[in-house]
């Protein structure tokens, strides 16, 4: 919210006549204009990200959740903590879908202390299970920003240089109880190139503003639950990599998936850590992925081999990250008047109708979905299909 130099707050600015923006349609309802405004802001946000910037594809993200007394507040239904944890589950799913080779860890802070809920790992199930169990934690005491940040930092500083190190804090309390000077910790974070972002649930807190500004993160305060979800989803996309992050060649293995083997070496590999997903359940199974370097078996990818330390991925996981590197070009809007005779959508075989506020029967609406869907449309164009020869450039394309 604040940039340097600090700009004026909203209440310090001029008098805005916000009622002039809204226009009623014939029946007197405002939904159409509201939808239009939301739509335009969404469009602007996505267009803004179409620059050629190097992205941090392998991400190590630590989540810090505030479990202090203020999370018991009922302004998000049923209470802030439950709502936050539920949204986090969706976030973890989306995150691993868009960044399959990244890792996430969760820290909670309450009672002036911070503790780790889950370690940094690339397995979404573990995190989701831990989040489900965390709904019952009592919200007591005050959070401690310093302790949470130093706990995350102790783990992140050992990560290799080519990965992006991030911390995302969800802070609902307006106070924090720190054992030492937090501004020194902020300089340490900055020197170690850790990027901290904060989502506030109550109000803007000055120390968070300074923290995010120094480390290059973003700070937002939510308005309501849907805004909360939107802000969370902003962090799913890989952030631009800092200029000083190292680029290196990472050695990775691409194991084959064996389905049914007749050999009797079916035992699961024995790991040094006590509880991992592959050792729960029956234990023995026929197929799996064998590490090409040490032949240890795993059931799922991507994973880091415990025996030899090789990162194991499969080619579709890397392909999943390509759509961040080659983003879809923005669609061009052209008005219906330019379409002369052939108002026919080539993709879905439907008549194009006039753009009305409520129903937008255009190429976009029938193909409008998550960004994935826009990609599929673009592939049709990229493959050199002339589509509609007559009105190829005049098709009404609103995405």
Binding site for another protein (CB under 8 A): 54, 57-58, 161-163, 241, 246-259, 292-293, 310, 314-316, 318-323, 325-326, 344, 346-350, 365-367, 369-370, 372-373, 375-377, 379-380, 382-386
The DSSP letter of residue 125 is: H
Q: Which is nearer to another protein, 163 or 176 (CB)?
A: 163
Task: Tokens for 231, please give them.
Answer: 């802000």
Task: Tokens for 197, please give them.
Answer: 């972002």
The DSSP letter of residue 355 is: B
* Residue pointed to by tokens 């309501």: 224
355: left (phi over 0), alpha (psi -120 to 50) or beta: beta
Q: Which is nearer to another protein, 132 or 295 (CB)?
A: 295
Q: How far is the CB of 325 from another protein (least distance, A)?
A: 6
Q: Which is nearer to another protein, 210 or 233 (CB)?
A: 233
Contact present, 304 and 312 (Cβ < 8 Å): yes
Burial class (CB in 10 A: 0-12, 13-18, 19+), 210: middle
Hey, CA dihedral for 235, 237, 238, 242, is it positive or negative?
negative
End-to-end C-alpha distance for the chain, whole angstroms: 29
Q: How far is the CB of 226 from another protein (least distance, A)?
A: 19
Contact present, 62 and 166 (Cβ < 8 Å): yes
Q: How far is the CB of 280 from another protein (least distance, A)?
A: 24
Q: Which is nearer to another protein, 266 or 368 (CB)?
A: 368
Q: Which is nearer to another protein, 121 or 365 (CB)?
A: 365
Q: Which is nearer to another protein, 35 or 75 (CB)?
A: 35
Q: How far is the CB of 370 from another protein (least distance, A)?
A: 7
Task: Tokens for 383, please give them.
Answer: 């493959």
What is the maximum span of the chain, computed from C-alpha positions, in angstroms? 78
Q: Which is nearer to another protein, 36 or 385 (CB)?
A: 385
Task: Count Cβ atoms below 10 Å from residue 300 Cβ, excluding itself.
Answer: 13
User: In degrees, to the nearest 5, what angle opens at C-alpha 160 toward C-alphas 155 and 164?
Assistant: 80
Q: How far is the CB of 188 from another protein (least distance, A)?
A: 23
Rounded CA-CA distance 119/195 in Å is 19
Q: How far is the CB of 117 from another protein (least distance, A)?
A: 28
Q: How far is the CB of 361 from another protein (least distance, A)?
A: 10
Task: Tokens for 76, please give them.
Answer: 């998000």
Q: Which is nearer to another protein, 74 or 349 (CB)?
A: 349
């Amino acid at each position: 919210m604040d940039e340097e130099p600090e700009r004026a707050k909203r209440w310090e600015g001029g008098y805005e006549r916000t009622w002039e923006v809204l226009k009623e349609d014939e029946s007197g309802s405002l939904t159409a204009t509201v939808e239009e405004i939301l739509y335009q802001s969404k469009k602007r946000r996505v267009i803004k990200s179409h620059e050629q910037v190097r992205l941090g594809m392998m991400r190590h993200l630590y989540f810090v959740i505030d479990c202090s007394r203020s999370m018991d507040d009922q302004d998000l239904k049923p209470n802030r903590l439950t709502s936050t944890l539920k949204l986090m589950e969706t976030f973890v799913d989306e995150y691993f879908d868009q960044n399959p080779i990244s890792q996430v860890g969760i820290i909670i802070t309450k009672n002036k202390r911070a503790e780790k809920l889950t370690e940094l790992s690339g397995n979404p199930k573990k995190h989701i299970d831990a989040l489900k169990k965390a709904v019952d934690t009592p919200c007591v005491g005050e959070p401690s920003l310093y302790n949470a940040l130093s706990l995350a930092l102790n783990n992140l500083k050992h990560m290799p240089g080519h990965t992006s190190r991030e911390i995302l804090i969800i802070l609902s309390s307006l106070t924090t109880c720190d054992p030492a000077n937090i501004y020194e910790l902020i300089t340490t974070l900055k020197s170690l190139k850790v990027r901290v972002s904060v989502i506030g649930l109550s109000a803007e807190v000055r120390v968070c503003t300074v923290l995010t500004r120094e480390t290059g993160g973003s700070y937002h305060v939510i308005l309501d639950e849907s805004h909360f979800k939107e802000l969370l989803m902003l962090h799913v996309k890989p952030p631009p990599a800092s200029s000083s992050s190292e680029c290196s060649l990472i050695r990775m293995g691409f194991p084959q998936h064996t389905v049914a083997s007749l050999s009797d070496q079916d035992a699961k590999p024995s790991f040094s850590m006590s509880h991992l997903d592959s050792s729960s359940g029956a234990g023995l199974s026929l197929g799996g992925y064998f590490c090409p370097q040490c032949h240890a078996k795993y059931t799922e990818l991507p994973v880091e081999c415990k025996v030899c330390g090789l990162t194991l991925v499969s080619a579709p996981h890397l392909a999943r990250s390509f759509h961040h590197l080659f983003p879809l070009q923005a669609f061009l809007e052209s008005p219906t008047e330019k379409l002369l005779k052939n108002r026919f959508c080539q993709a879905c075989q439907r008549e194009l109708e006039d753009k009305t506020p409520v129903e937008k029967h255009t190429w976009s609406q029938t193909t409008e979905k998550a960004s994935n869907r826009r990609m599929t449309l673009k592939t049709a164009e990229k493959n050199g299909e002339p589509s509609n020869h007559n009105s190829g450039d005049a098709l009404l394309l609103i995405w």
